Amino acid sequence: MSVHAPIVTLTMNPALDVSSTIDRVVPEHKMRCGPSRFDPGGGGVNVSRAIRNLGGHSVAIYPLGGPTGQAYRGFLEHAGIVGRVVTIAGATRESFTVDETSTGEQYRFVLQGPTLREPEWRACMSVVGDHLPVGGFLVASGSLPPGVPVDFYARLARIAAEHDVKVVVDASGPALMAALDEGVYLIKPSRDELAGLIGADADLGLDEQVDAARAIVAAGRSAVVALTLGGAGAVLVTADEVLRLPTPRVEVASAVGAGDAFLAALVLRLAEGRSLADAFRTAVAAGSATAMLPATELCRAEDVEGLEAQLSS
């Protein structure tokens, strides 16, 4: 394990990811799938899993409930992730990914999470408060389940700001907007999410995207904006610099988890004291290394190293 500043991830809406294959998806028929794969998923947990794959360490905080939650916990412990669980009454959700082998298309079904009662989401906030990574990073990633207030991430940012903790938020919609209103260290929007933040059309040109990111930084809403553009690469914007990198050429097997791996690598390298440019390069490599793998697998360190070398040449 590498030596680095502490990292805590928060996943308020974890999901047991089930993935399989089928020749073709057709309506009204029983479709016999291939072998199934089960992974503990959700934004923050995926970040923790990818950090571990890259030789780092983090503490993952997440609410779990019901039989699905029990299974989820077992899979996560098997993956070697240090977890802090908040037990809830509702059952942890599932998500289902099917790869259609005849066409290469991928179908992703994401179920709604359980409703959290106020004592439950307040308990999550309390556990985060008890495990604040002072001098390090708190990565709050993924959607908020029903019952959780939209300013939940903003409340965490307010607490973290008093304890030398850099808050990283990977979310969308009102939850992200509220966090930005409070002020955070880093956000990782997609092209569409960035457009939504400024009330613009999703078809922003690159210069318009950079201008939008700069405006967020200049307003003190986020010190760093890491914009992921899929096959078009990524852009990182701070008050002092704009960095652009293309996506390495890889054969894409599954897009699931690529953004989480990108964020994991970016935060891990920054926690190790590396420059933003170095961290950004590893992040782009990790996202592509994850896209190379089937289903819900996350990046392997050797693949990331090879792709990073491509980006450095």
Q: What angle do CA 284, 225, 312 make, to 5 degrees?
A: 30
User: Quick check: is 260 catalytic?
Assistant: yes
Amino acid found at 38: F
Query: Is 167 within 8 Å of 133 (Cβ atoms)?
Result: no
* Residue 102 structure tokens: 């005849």
Query: Which helix H or strand E contains 289, and what residues bound it?
Result: helix 276-291
Cα separation, 4 vs 289, whole angstroms: 22
Distance CA 101, CA 104 (A): 5
Q: Which candidate in 17, 151, 260, 303 is catalytic?
A: 260
CA angle 176, 178, 179 (to 5 degrees): 65
The closest of 211, 203, 240, 207 to 223, measured between CA atoms, is 240
Nearest CA-CA partner of 169 in 243, 226, 235: 226
Distance CA 194, CA 205 (A): 12
Kindly report the number of other CB atoms within 10 A of residue 218's CB atom.
Answer: 9
Active site positions, annotated: 260
